[in-house]
Amino acid sequence: KAGVTQTPRYLIKTRGQQVTLSCSPISGHRSVSWYQQTPGQGLQFLFEYFSETQRNKGNFPGRFSGRQFSNSRSEMNVSTLELGDSALYLCASSFGRGGKETQYFGPGTRLLVL
């Protein structure tokens, strides 16, 4: 079974631009979560989608948004990019919801904002 895939793997943008990242979960998984990883803040939860609905949200500004499609694929969008948005963005999928579910992570998209 294929793992979680994320595209693109690397991205360079300039301040003020917007960016869209894509995540394809493991086949059959219905929950997709997004995380931001930076050297200063570590790994932080962005949001979680299940059945095309946002179920949980972390403490990030409204510039960060996402959506999930009927095939469980998810996209994350960041508008008006800032230098501090440079990070590794990780997507994780799980079959269902619940704290006992194992989340499987993709390789991440590394975003550099200049």
Partner 1 sequence: AQSVTQLDSHVSVSEGTPVLLRCNYSSSYSPSLFWYVQHPNKGLQLLLKYTSAATLVKGINGFEAEFKKSETSFHLTKPSAHMSDAAEYFCVVSLSNFGNEKLTFGTGTRLTIIP
Return residues touching partner 1 (CB under 8 A). 4, 31, 33, 35, 42-45, 48, 55-56, 58, 90, 92, 94, 97-108
For the bound state, the minimum distance from the C-beta of residue 15 to partner 1, rounded and expressed in Å, comes to 25
Structure tokens at 75: 């996209």
For the bound state, the minimum distance from the C-beta of residue 16 to partner 1, rounded and expressed in Å, comes to 28
For the bound state, the minimum distance from the C-beta of residue 80 to partner 1, rounded and expressed in Å, comes to 25
Q: Which is closer to partner 1, CB of 28 or CB of 99? A: 99
Q: Which is closer to partner 1, CB of 4 or CB of 78? A: 4
Q: What number of other Cβ atoms are within 10 A of residue 59's Cβ? A: 7
For the bound state, the minimum distance from the C-beta of residue 43 to partner 1, rounded and expressed in Å, comes to 4
- Where are the strands (E) in the chain, listed by range? 5-7, 10-13, 19-24, 31-38, 42-50, 53-57, 64-68, 74-78, 87-94, 104-105, 109-113
Q: What number of other Cβ atoms are within 10 A of residue 49's Cβ? A: 26
- What is the Cα–Cα distance from 32 to 68, expressed in whole angstroms? 8
Q: Which is closer to partner 1, CB of 79 or CB of 97? A: 97
